[in-house]
Amino acid sequence: MKGKIVTLVLLFLASLLFPYTMTILCFDTGLMSYQPEDLYSVVFENEKTVSAEQYLVGILAQEIDPSMEQETLKAQAILARTWLYRAMGTKTSVSESELAIHAMTLSQMKAVWGDDEYLYYEKLYAAVIETAGQCLYYGDGLAAPLFHKISAGMTRYDQTGDCPYLVGVDCVYDAESPGYQTVKQFTKEEFAGKLNQIDDTRQLSAPVNAADVALTLDAQGYVMNLQVSEISFSAEEAALALGIPSLWFRLEDYADTIRVIAKGIGHGYGMSQYGADRYAGEGRDYKWILQHYFQGCEVKDSFGR
């Protein structure tokens, strides 16, 4: 089901990319303020209301490095808006408590960006305003706006058939990115212990050898599940338990340890932010970037949907 694949990857993203999931304490910078004529809005627990467009600036701050090219930020703004409108459904207003991801606060932006806070905020604000109301569509429906930081060399095909626009795209630049490869090493007892923390009903007997672990891979080499004897774990569960940033990983016995080698950062579906940024640096605009990663989709105005 489309809902299942989106839920799984959002949960994985939440653990990797959104470490500051708190509500907006103050978002009035003098640049934007809620106006009654704004079509869509987000309501906080204190009943303060901000426009959906205003809220998206804080979502972008969670999702992407603001030093990236402006066309990359605009592509990400389209994906963020598409996510928010999908979450809102037919409603014109949504409570922040209903959202799986919350926007970054100004104080958090200051803590992360320091003296660059104002510059980066302006860049994200411009990305939202310059794409105002635009979403990613497949036919008449909003597409699943999936993204990741770095692919393992190719984005993933949708295995369910519900997202035919996720066809797998070569990412020739991603292997050049900082953080492309991660290597972690565990004793064979530690490896079993990490996986045993996932679920009390699925317990491995230590030690575990890499040769004892069967990985089920998709066509692009991303792990779908991991199995030891009769005990199985999803790739998302295993990656979180082992502290690796990608769902493309391999295991090998190394001396008396298990070495885990991961490529890329994220689940591998949809837009690679690093690849998108390289395309933007070559002069590609945000619409080209999105249509490259989501084939058969188009960017359309959603105001008054």
Query: Euclidean distance between the first and final Cα of the chain, in Å?
Result: 25
At 47 the pLDDT is 81
At 44 the pLDDT is 87
Tens digits of residue pLDDT in 90-135: 999 999 999 998 999 889 999 999 999 999 999 999 999 999 999 9
Residue 268 CB coordination number (10 Å):
30
Tens digits of residue pLDDT in 233-254: 999 999 999 999 999 999 999 9
Query: d(Cα 35, Cα 41) in Å, to the nearest integer?
Result: 10
Beta-carbon contacts of 148 under 8 Å, excluding residues fewer than 6 positions away, are: 13, 264, 265, 266, 267, 268, 269, 270, 271, 272, 273
At 31 the pLDDT is 38
- Alpha-carbon Rg of the chain, whole angstroms? 20
pLDDT bin (cut points 50, 70, 90) of residue 39 is confident
Tens digits of residue pLDDT in 151-208: 999 999 998 889 999 999 999 899 999 999 999 999 999 999 999 999 999 999 989 9
Q: What is the mean pLDDT of residues 32-61?
A: 81
Query: d(Cα 277, Cα 293) in Å, to the nearest integer?
Result: 12
At 304 the pLDDT is 53
At 21 the pLDDT is 33
The per-residue pLDDT of the chain, averaged, comes to: 88
pLDDT bin (cut points 50, 70, 90) of residue 1 is low
What angle do the packed helices 273-281 and 286-293 form, to 10 degrees?
Answer: 140
3-state SS assignment for residue 231: strand
Give the residue among 175, 159, 297, 177 at the shortest CA–CA distance from 220: 159
